[in-house]
Structures are given as C-alpha cells and as structure tokens.
C-alpha cells in the first residue's frame, strides 16, 4: 500500500506541525506503507520524507522539472519521478497512491486535497482521503464546507468526504476504509 501525503513546503509556525509530519513518516515506514509526496526537501515535506526514509520506508517523490531545476528536490529518495507539469505531477501521484492524507500546508496543499476529494465526489476515483487536523488547522475548511451545505452548494454526503483525525493512528485508520463503504453507512 502507498499513501500520498499533501503538506507544506515550510514547517509552519507551530512545532506540532513538524512533529505530526515526523510521526506520520515514521509510522508509515513502521507499517510498511509507502509514501508518495511532492518530492521536496524543505518544510513538512522534507521532515515527512526523512522520517519515512529513516525508518526504512519507501519514499517516492514526484516533482515537475521546473521545481527540480530550482534545487527544491530531495536528493535521497527511493525514487524521484520528474514530470513536465504540475498537472502531470498530480495525476502521477494519484496513480501511485492507494489513499491520500493532508497535513497542514498552504495553497498547494489545499488545491491538491480539494482536487482528489472532487475526483471522489464525481466518481472518478474511490480512494480514501483524510486530513490530520493538527491543533484545529483545518477548522476553517470544515466551516466553509458546512456553509456550502447550508447554502445548497454541497450535499451532506459529499461533505462527509472531508474526514479528519487528530492523531496519526486515527488518520491511518480513516484512509484504510474505502470511500464506498462510508457511503453505505
């Protein structure tokens, strides 16, 4: 099994974000779950990859050539896949992964998370996705999704695709549950 993790290229303002990335990377390796991520060496991406590698885990980075050329790529991965564009990157990451997890991050993290969740909503894929809601980081996103339901733009069923846990074990359990099984409940 491989999990694609979306997260920040910076470590953020709170030490708990770095700790969450470290714990997730270590736990993926311990459980024999491969990591697919954006291939960066900086920020939470670098912390996550280093922790997984240190535990003997498989780490596959996927990065557009333009970012590799800016010296942002991690040099010690199991495999670094270079793509021609961001669109190719996201498609390749999704194809390699069995599930998705989002850690705190910025616009890129939000965009990637919402894209794969939208693919599930549209029935284009059925891979589970969960957010590691470190210190309530994603509370604003959940509030916006709740407003979209209240305003008639999002069904309650599709709101349920945004699932979160507050610990690494909880999030890993969420992504092992197929999305179809959630809809059946």
CATH classification at residue 105: 3.40.50.450
Instruction: Report yes or no on 153 lying in a domain.
Output: yes
- pLDDT reading at 184 higher than 60: no
64 alpha-carbon distance from chain centroid: 17
What is the value of pTM for the model shown?
0.93
Residue 130 dihedral angles phi and psi, to the nearest 5°: -145, 155
Distance between CA atoms of residues 5 and 150, nearest Å: 30
* Number of independent structural domains in the chain: 1
In a domain, 177, yes or no: no
CA-wise closest residue to 132 among 24, 52, 15, 35: 24
Domain that holds residue 106: 2-172
Could you tell me if residue 179 is inside a domain?
A: no
Residue 178 lies in a domain: no
Give the pLDDT band (50/70/90) at residue 69.
confident
What are the pLDDT digits (tens) for 120-172? 999 999 999 999 999 999 999 999 999 999 999 999 999 999 999 999 999 99
Q: How many helices (H) and strands (E) does the chain have?
A: 9, 7
Residue 114 lies in a domain: yes
DSSP string, 70-81: TT-B-SS-SEEE
- Is 184 a member of any domain? no
Residue among 38, 53, 59, 44 nearest 14 (CA): 44
Q: Is residue 181 part of a domain?
A: no
Handedness of CA 105, 110, 112, 116 (dihedral sign): positive
CA–CA–CA angle 136, 168, 27 (5° rounding): 150
Residues 49-62 have pLDDT tens digits of: 999 999 999 999 99
Look at residue 180 and tell me if it is in a domain.
Answer: no
Q: What is the distance in angstroms between the CA of the first residue and the CA of the last residue of the chain?
A: 24
Please name which of 79, 83, 87 lies closest in space to residue 36, comparing C-alpha atoms. 79
């Amino acid at each position: 099994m491989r999990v694609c993790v979306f997260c920040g290229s910076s470590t953020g303002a709170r030490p708990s974000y770095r700790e969450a990335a470290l714990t997730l990377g270590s736990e993926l390796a311990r459980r024999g779950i491969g990591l697919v991520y954006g291939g960066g060496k900086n920020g939470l991406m670098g912390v996550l990859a280093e922790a997984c590698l240190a535990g003997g885990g498989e780490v596959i980075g996927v990065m557009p050539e333009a970012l590799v050329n800016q010296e942002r790529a991690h040099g010690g991965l199991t495999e670094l896949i270079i793509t021609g564009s961001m669109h190719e990157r996201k498609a390749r990451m999704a194809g390699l992964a069995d599930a998705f997890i989002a850690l705190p991050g910025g616009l890129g993290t939000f965009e990637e998370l919402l894209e794969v969740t939208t693919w599930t909503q549209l029935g284009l894929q059925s891979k589970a996705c969960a957010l590691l809601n470190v210190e309530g980081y994603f509370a604003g996103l959940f509030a916006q999704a709740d407003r979209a339901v209240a305003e008639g733009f999002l069904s309650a069923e599709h709101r349920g695709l945004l699932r979160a846990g507050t610990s690494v074990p909880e999030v890993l359990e969420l992504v092992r549950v197929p999305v179809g099984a959630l809809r059946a409940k």
